């Protein structure tokens, strides 16, 4: 089982506050307030309706705790483990009204995050034994980047740059300003960035050679054919980190990884995520 990375507690809190404000606004859960007795206690189970990789259980717990500080959690599956259809991944006991008010918010987080983790695990399994790694991208849901990337890591993928602030990536849109690829790499290095934090997007062997000559530590091999990837591996392997990218999807990953590239970056893990099927069952406590 993958050992989950640390969640960003502040990012989780911000996301939960925004989600609850969106759902409850100033009036709260008007349905539950109208029909559920204030003192009624209940037990709720988050249940996998399909096989999945669990992710987001700590976030779901935080949702319920935010609404009921005395909520108890007799069962909480570890993020990163596989769950079968019908398996409970979280049990929470507390005020029934609070559990109902938090149901959709908790599920929205857990379903999205488990969907990302499940897709990532499938991608990692598809390229197993090739020596390549699966990377994520910045194509995340606005405001949920740290949670999306956490889910990728839970699924066995590797987090790439968190944002524009921590690593440079020179893309064709930057070159549209009129600077050459080599000069762009040199400018990034001159700004104080180490080579390992400078990625050059390249679309040919010639551009790869230009990026290497300028001192880039990483090359994003954009939308290349398998033959083009092999040609880049032949001249760059061991000298620069080679990252294949561009429309990579399930079922098409292993041939790319088998070319010898170091990594595959997959935007679909987070921009086209299919939410995992989780639901909440609730029962009254005596």
Catalytic: which of 104, 138, 161, 230? Answer: 104
Count Cα neighbours of 196 within 13 Å in the Cβ-side half-sphere.
1
Catalytic: which of 43, 88, 139, 203? Answer: 139
Q: Confirm whether 171 is a catalytic residue.
A: yes
Q: What distance lies between CA 32 and its chain's CA centroid?
A: 33
Q: Confirm whether 29 is a catalytic residue.
A: no
Catalytic: which of 29, 68, 207, 222? Answer: 222
Contacts of 26 (CB under 8 A, 6+ apart): none
Catalytic: which of 171, 239, 249, 252? Answer: 171
The CA-CA-CA angle for residues 125, 166, 225, to 5°, reads: 45
How far is it, in rounded angstroms, from Cα 79 to Cα 85?
Answer: 16
Instruction: Confirm if 89 and 281 have CB atoms less than 8 A apart.
Output: no
Catalytic: which of 93, 201, 243, 262? Answer: 201
How far is it, in rounded angstroms, from Cα 169 to Cα 222?
Answer: 12
Q: Confirm whether 27 is a catalytic residue.
A: no
DSSP state of 41: E
Q: Confirm whether 283 is a catalytic residue.
A: no
Q: Confirm whether 222 is a catalytic residue.
A: yes
Count Cα neighbours of 22 within 13 Å in the Cβ-side half-sphere.
9
| Residues carrying an active site annotation | 104, 139, 171, 201, 222
């Amino acid at each position: 089982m993958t050992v989950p990375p640390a969640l960003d507690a502040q990012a989780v809190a911000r996301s939960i506050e925004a989600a609850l404000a969106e759902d409850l606004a100033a009036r709260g859960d008007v349905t539950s307030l109208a029909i559920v007795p204030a003192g009624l206690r209940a037990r709720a189970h988050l249940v996998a309706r399909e096989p999945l990789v669990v992710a987001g259980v700590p976030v779901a717990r935080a949702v319920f705790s935010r609404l009921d500080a005395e909520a108890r959690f007799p069962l909480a599956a570890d993020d990163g483990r596989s769950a079968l259809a019908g398996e409970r991944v979280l049990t929470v006991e507390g005020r029934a009204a609070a559990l109902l008010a938090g149901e959709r918010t908790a599920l929205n987080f857990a379903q999205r995050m488990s969907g990302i983790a499940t897709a990532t695990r499938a991608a990692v399994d598809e390229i197993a034994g090739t020596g390549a790694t699966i990377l994520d991208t910045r194509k995340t849901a606005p405001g949920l980047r740290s949670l999306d990337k956490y889910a990728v890591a839970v699924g066995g993928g590797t987090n790439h740059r968190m944002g524009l602030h921590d690593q440079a990536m020179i893309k064709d849109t930057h070159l549209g300003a009129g600077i050459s690829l080599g000069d762009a790499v040199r400018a990034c290095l001159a700004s104080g960035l180490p080579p390992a934090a400078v990625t050059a997007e390249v679309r040919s062997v010639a551009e790869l050679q230009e990026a290497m000559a300028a001192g880039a530590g990483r090359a994003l091999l954009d939308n290349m054919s398998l033959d083009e990837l092999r040609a880049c591996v032949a001249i760059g392997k061991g000298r620069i980190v080679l990252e294949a990218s561009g429309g990579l999807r399930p079922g098409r990953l292993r041939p790319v990884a088998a070319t010898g590239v170091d990594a595959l970056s997959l935007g679909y893990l987070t921009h086209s995520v299919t939410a995992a099927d989780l639901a909440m069952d609730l029962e009254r406590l005596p």
